[in-house]
Chain A
Amino acid sequence: MKKWAILFLLIALQIPASVKAGEWSGYFSAEGRLFFNDALHPGQREQQAAFSAQPEYHHAWEESSFTFVPFYRLDSADAKRTHTDVRELYFLWYPGAFDLGIGIRKIFWGVTESQHLVDIINQTDLVELPDGEEKLGQPMINFSMLRDWGIIDFFILPYFRERTFPGRKGRLRSAIPIDTDQARFESSAKKHHLDLAVRYAKTLDYVDLALSYFRGTGREPTFLPGTDASGNPVLIPFYSQIGQTGVELQWVTEEWLWKLEAIHRTGQGESFEAWTGGFEYTFTGLLETQMDLGAIAEWLYDTRGDKATTPFENDFMFGLRLAVNDMASTELLIGVIQDLDHASKMLSIEGGRRLTDHWKIEIEGNLFIQQNTRTLFYDLRDDDFLQLSLLYYF
């Protein structure tokens, strides 16, 4: 990783004759997390405060660009959450008929809101937030061809990033801590296994369709029981070699957005399928105001049932997204995911409001309700929290 970084910085400094001068942007953030209940697991700190920074350097020429986005977080409670990452560090060449990107990038695939099944290129930076939306930078060569019949993307992924997990002192962790230092791999090449992916995407009038295939180290680990150096029980992540076929489908008609994501995965135990499907309906100009309200409903299913490695083996998600459309761009998203086989549910809230051209506040929170020993959020049952962040953008 470090060698890549140095190489790219050297190349960047060598290139003269810029078309658009390089520019810095990005943000600093200070956040506090309030947990409503006392910590459940031994060693956990009660409350958490953190600072993070994500500057962004971008330099564009006529048909190419260079991007560098480092990230740093300092956490008051959890040493595992204090971490540095290179989110992006890459060259992009776009002469017209194709895009060629080389370096560390973030790529998103998917259409649904409640979870992102198909999205597999980047590893989840799980210490950031339990919703898994934050991702680690992924080294890659990406060749994207633009044709009348669609866009086809090829990915060569030469290095694997391990998932991050909260440490012993952190909240929002499993009862038995996860020891990432002992991570095991099915492939003898370990993190250097060459992973490959391809994705085809096409828009046909009101339908956006994408098909993808990934072959390589699965981003989602399973866990093996073990002990750490002091003999305490730990969970050891195990990364299998998998093959995953993905489908993304979206159909737009007036106020409705119909969405489907489905995967078929082999190599991680028995092969299985999982899907998320549903709709988003938008009420534009709610109650004769400038506000828009979106109603989201999705069904989440995994054919492994209770053996699924995700908490969403047969669940229903309902959410409301309010966009106030005021000067401050106030937004609020409230969602509940109800387990259809058990009583358990998870409530989540996300919101933001701009204070000035540079300052913004955000809230984020989760409630884990009626969790029982058979649900995967059981260990988080006392980790209901609300997080308030103050961000400075530049």
Chain B
Amino acid sequence: MTREEEFLERLRATFRVEAGEILSSISAGLIELEKRPSPARQAELLEVVYRSAHSLKGAARAVSLNAIEALCQAMENIFSALKRGEAQASPAVFDSLHAAADLIRPLALAPAGALQPEEQTKIQAMENRLADAVSGKPQREPPPPAAAPDVPPEVPFPVPRETAAASAGSGGIHAETVRIPMSKLDALVLKAEELISAKLSARLRAAEMRKLKAIFGAWAAQWDKAAPALRKAARGIEAGGRTASGEGAGAAPGRPGDFFEWNSRFAKSLEERLDAMKRAAEEDSRSTGGMVDDLLGDIKEVMMLPFSSALETFPRLVRDIAREQGKLADLTIEGGEIEIDKRVLQLIKDPLSHLVRNCIDHGLETPESRRGKGKPEKGSLKIAVSQIDSGRVEVLVSDDGKGIDAGQVKASAVKYGILSGEEAGALSDRDAIDLIFKSGVSTSPLITELSGRGLGLAIVRENAEKLGGTAAVETSAGGTLFRLVLPLSIATFRGITLEAGGRAFIVPTKNVAKIISVSKDAIKSVENRETILFNSRAVSLARLADVLELPAAAGAGEGGSLSVMLLGADGGYMAFVIDRVLAEDEVLFKNLGRQFARVRNIAGATVVGSGLVVPILNVADLMKSARKYSVAAAARPAAEAGRPELQKQSVLVVEDSITARTLMVNILESAGYGVVSAVDGVDGLVKFGGGDFDIIVTDIAMPNMNGFDLTAKIREGKKRPDIPIVIVTGLESPEDKRRGIEAGASAYIVKSSFDQSNLLEVIKRLI
């Protein structure tokens, strides 16, 4: 790399950061503009977005990103036409502007390199679209004067606005700040956290010193008791054997009596030194602990970000989802200025966006239906953050929609085998509503790519609990309220280290109800499941090593009794046989990294005093696995304790594009499915007739017979009219989705969001 290239690369890195900020500011500005605030505020906002587009154009030119420059120019033209009142700010214009910002973002973030031809076409098309957006609509209508005068000119999202104002140079007080890349801070945090192990080992040393001192003390007590007699005996030997001695070893005590005295003095001084060392070790442990805690406290401070920094994209998200669904929604955010640990934000951002999606998707009604109920057409969504004590915040996500129907939740839970009919009948509405946090339950009759896959809310609760928080829901006919309680920062928790299958694991102490020793005779077998009695109730018992799919450790299960740990989660209890308990300590939760997005039965890991990594167990998972295992164990020979093989299920893929077809076949085959493909609806119908399939995945737009017709034909036919059918499509409109439902599709996935996990997840859910 030449020096110029290196420089350009550095410049581009800077540009990427800048472009990201400017684009966020443009997005926020557009969202607010579209809400039609007062004319004065509109003018102000237009000025900000206009200047932002202009600065980005200049910056893009500096790093010779001509495509971005051209797009910014086109955006700038629109803004300037709006400013002059020569164009009307219609939703279409906003759509084009948002789309342009979306197009610029990846271009700005991409590493330097020539544009792909398709990218160039897209950019050209966008330039034309932007040009048409103003010139194509020559109505010289000025921006409507205060269409909604009751809307306060307040900014609902203070933070993006503040940064926008600052970068636009509109003045404001600048505190003395430095800009540091997050990656550097992250490294610093990791190093500081590692000091926890130094603190723990200092504590261990101090404890060892105390033990040593105690051992010495026990010896000294014995010695003191025996000393008078021994002294006497020594003197006696001395008196009797005086002739034998004489030329001793100089300074060393040659005579037994002298040796005895020397020995006493030596032991005394050893004890004193031991005591001094013990005290020093304790002092070290205390001061190291204090310093580490102090440092971690400060580091946590540094990691605090305003909550709104995670919510910047939400207004846009709400707008897009609502538009896509033909609904109207307004989002207000309260308490965005409250500061919270960046890592908590990171973990909670996706769950929050899922909650918001869920509110629009399932909660809010269509404008017509709302009008019918006498509600305002525009639904209102609210995210309110407030601090409930020094360490916790409460996040309320609410909508004024139709609420959640407990009956529907029960029906869904029964359908997916989470509850039996009787169990569902006995359940209170409140408990039934809580089921939406269980994976597999969804009230949406059709699986869409938005939500309703019945996994999202489970992840919301899981992530909240992983952080040591809670997630709950309240609902009524007037709307739904999700309540998350989160810690302000990532804190350590108490964990019990245990050994199973010869390896160390940690369980959070809060999940451990009891650790007991159980005689082998006390284990009863009920319907192929082993149980023990606990508090006079039968609790199922599983071997932790088996559940974790570990090979049985040598010598395990010998002796007459077993160490059993009673673990609880989600209100249930289960007993696990472990090798032994090692210790209880402070534990800092760490993720296993992106590559291990989710590992069965393992929640994360921590680094212990010795620097070793110890996995932290996911107790809810363990209980689920154990239920499965105890049934499976009875059915299969003990020798093959590997992972349960995926049954080869068969998928029919109907798709006319060879690329899309090849991709899908590949994805499905590598996920272990048997796949047959068809090139259009007719071919699909023929192959469906001639084969035995578990599920059909079909495209919509195809020659001869499209996906809707194929779905309808199968539903009307005699052969397996109930087979799950997933429609995968490039079309994304509420009408199409409705047609999909009418034709009888079981799920509808839009190709733009088509990645393999999505498809596989949906298929897994349906068969």
Partners in one complex: no
Please list the residues of chain A having a beta carbon within 8 angstroms of any beta carbon in chain B: none
